[in-house]
Amino acid sequence: MSSDSMMQMLSELSGNDAVFGHFGALGGYALAARRAMHELGTGPETWKKIAVGQRKWANLNPQAMMHDKPLTETDYDQAKWVVEPFRLFDNCLITDGGRAVIVTSLERARDLKQQPAVIMGLGQHHPSTAIAQSDWMAGPTGARQAGKTAFAMAGITPDDVDACQIYDCFTYTVEITLQDYGFFQPGEGRDWLEGGTIEPGGRMPVNTSGGQLSEAYCMGLTPIAEGAMQIMDRCGERQLGPATGTKPPEIILCSDNGGILQSHSSVLLRRM
Amino acid sequence: MTYAKPVPRINADNRAFWEGCRQHELKFQQCAKCSQVRWPPSDLCPQCHSTDTDWLSSKGFGTVYTFAVYHAAFHPGFKADVPYTVAVVALDEGPRLLTNIVGCPPDQVRCDMPVEVTWQEVDEGITLPKFRPISNDPASAYEPWP
């Protein structure tokens, strides 16, 4: 159970929603995910492939909080509900930690000891301040427009992307974000994820550190730091390329997401 | 026994709504400039930023737009209630309201299910608008919004 101060913070942030027992991001994302189940036919059968797939990456990452803890689909199915439709393993971790990325000009970066990751496209879109009032809880989220902007700036399409680092506060966030970026049609996430698509050896690796679900929750820095590290070939056992049976990472798409799917940022990184 | 759950924080923006609830009247706002309907109450229209606002009353009928079932209590006041259902109800008049679905086991709540308002009296002069499935009782007052 949370401490008193944590509880007070949750109640303050939740405003009058707390009157009805509605608290924090978990409840808000659960509302969005439930509407997506209704409109698109998604659900735990889709999300468990994200939870299990990311855990396999974490098992290759000695820094990951879940490095030593394998996760099977049965483990997922048997986990308790927290706020339904989310089970325990649909939720990100709680982490005290930090990450940093250093941004400089390409001119200065050329002389550095380590090969840099180059920003080739950026996009942002912030569709709403009040998710409960929206009629688009099942998408499209801000990822649709933010992704379009970033891809247009980079002059590429999702087909050119070798791997994704997607902000994953909950498993569903990964599905809706990849869907809005155009990797699959609405409701086709389960088929797309089938056969280990996002796992080591898969054709589109996603959240290769384990992500916020299985490595550490460092807010938007978890995905972008991993994207940069992979481009820089600094990822050891989990390094994309021949070692993990995946494409060498020339281009990586990273996302960040705020509120309850209310704001979104995309960044495309490439090798120099 | 005192009421152990959070109570609404009433302010100048939402006072008319909560006073309406005490009279069993479900009130929402409509922008007098652009006609946008809204809830929760606010001083400005989120659509056009006008402060020119009318208060309307809902007939209290709508459908479940979405819902979540809490199996964990994030506040001690809800410990005895789990599992309980939080929902966004789309009122027939347009606005969407965050509320609870009562009188229905959580595993039988569905999106787009028709619901009607039911009033829960709590301490401190507060009445909460909650929603329950519309009964099949022919005596039910349900009349669809035109």
pLDDT of res. A136? 83
Judged by CB atoms closer than 8 Å, whether chains meet at A21 and B70 is answered as: yes
The answer to whether A76 is a known catalytic residue is no
Cis status of the peptide bond prior to B83, with omega within 30 of 0: yes
Q: Could you tell me what percent of chain A has a pLDDT over 90? A: 86
What's the gap in Å between the CA of B135 and the closest CA on chain A?
23
With CA atoms as reference, report the closest residue to A200 among A47, A52, A46: A52
* pTM of the entire predicted model: 0.93
ipTM: 0.92
pLDDT tens-digit series, residues B72-129: 999 999 999 999 999 999 999 999 999 999 999 999 999 999 999 999 999 768 999 9
Convert the pLDDT of each residue in A5-22 to its tens digit.
666 666 566 678 999 999
Per-residue model confidence (pLDDT) at position A1: 38
Confidence at residue B124, expressed as pLDDT on a 0 to 100 scale: 67
CA neighbor of A125 nearest in space, from A265, A270, A267: A265
Token output for A182? 């155009």
CB contact under 8 A, A16 and B65: no
pLDDT, one tens digit per residue, over A197-221 is 999 999 999 999 999 999 999 999 9
Per-position DSSP letters for B52-108, written without gaps between them? -EEEEEE-SEEEEEEEEEE-S-SSGGGGGG-SEEEEEEEETTS-EEEEEE-SS-GGG
Amino acid letter, residue B56: L
Residue A8 touches chain B, beta carbons under 8 Å: no
pLDDT range class, residue A135, cuts 50, 70, 90: confident
A217 is an active site residue:
yes
Say how far apart CA B120 and CA B129 lie, in whole Å.
6
Nearest CA in chain B to A36: B66
Contact B83 A81 (CB under 8 A): yes
Chain B residues within 8 A of A17 when measuring between CB atoms: 98
B40 contacts A27? CB cut-off 8 A: no
Distance, CA of A236 to CA of A253 (rounded, Å):
20
pLDDT at position A7: 60
pLDDT tens per residue across span B28-50 = 999 999 999 999 899 999 889 99
Q: Residue range A115-144: average pLDDT? A: 88
Q: Do A10 and B69 touch (CB under 8 A)?
A: no
- Which of the following CATH numbers is that of domain A4-271: 3.40.50.1980, 3.40.47.10, 3.40.50.720, 3.30.70.141? 3.40.47.10
**Can you give the residue ranges of every domain in chain A?**
4-271
Report the gap between the CA of B68 and the closest CA in chain A (Å).
5
